Homo-oligomer: A and B are copies of this chain.
Amino acid sequence: MMESGDARPPVFNNRDPVYLQVVRRFKVDIATGRLNAGQAIPSRRELAALMNINPNTAQKAYKEMEDQGLIVTEGNSPSRVTNDGRILGAIRDELIAESVDELIAAVRPIGVPLGELLDIVKRKYETALSAAKEDER
């Protein structure tokens, strides 16, 4: 998402503030390993250009990420993804929890029994994992 080679600017929804959507994209990139612990990230100005957003919005997103401890900025060096394992683990847990909450909000009104739901998640996840292994060959 934040690489210069990635020409397509991201699509934002009209529901959440853009700076929070930017923060969430960074969290996804960190949790999925597209961004590594300690890795330098673009400057605010570069990010604004890459994402096609207002520089003030980029500034607000970076401020939020600094406040949450996701990124660290020292002096005039570029900001970097934190090396703090607890924060990195918390990002991962937060994203998983969000996705599970969405699943439950969708299926609970349908009244699916827990055992059936767990079976479906298990079966589909195993299928997805073995499909990924096939691709690797």
CB pair A118 B122 closer than 8 Å:
yes
CB pair B118 A118 closer than 8 Å:
yes
CB pair B121 A100 closer than 8 Å:
yes
Copies in the complex: 2
Residues of B within 8 A of A76 (CB): none
Given A96-B107, A110-B31: A118 and B120 within 8 A (CB)? no
- Of B99, B104, B122, the residue contacting A106 (CB under 8 A) is B99
Give the total of A residues in contact with B, Cβ under 8 Å.
33
Query: Which residues of A from 117 to 137 have beta carbons under 8 Å from B?
Result: 117-118, 120-122, 124-126, 128-129, 132
Q: Is the interface of A mostly helix, strand, loop or mixed?
A: helix
Report the bound CA distance from A106 to B107 in whole Å: 16
- What are 14 A-B interface contacts by the 8 Å CB criterion? A32-B111, A96-B120, A99-B103, A100-B103, A101-B124, A102-B103, A104-B124, A104-B125, A108-B128, A108-B129, A108-B132, A117-B121, A118-B122, A121-B121
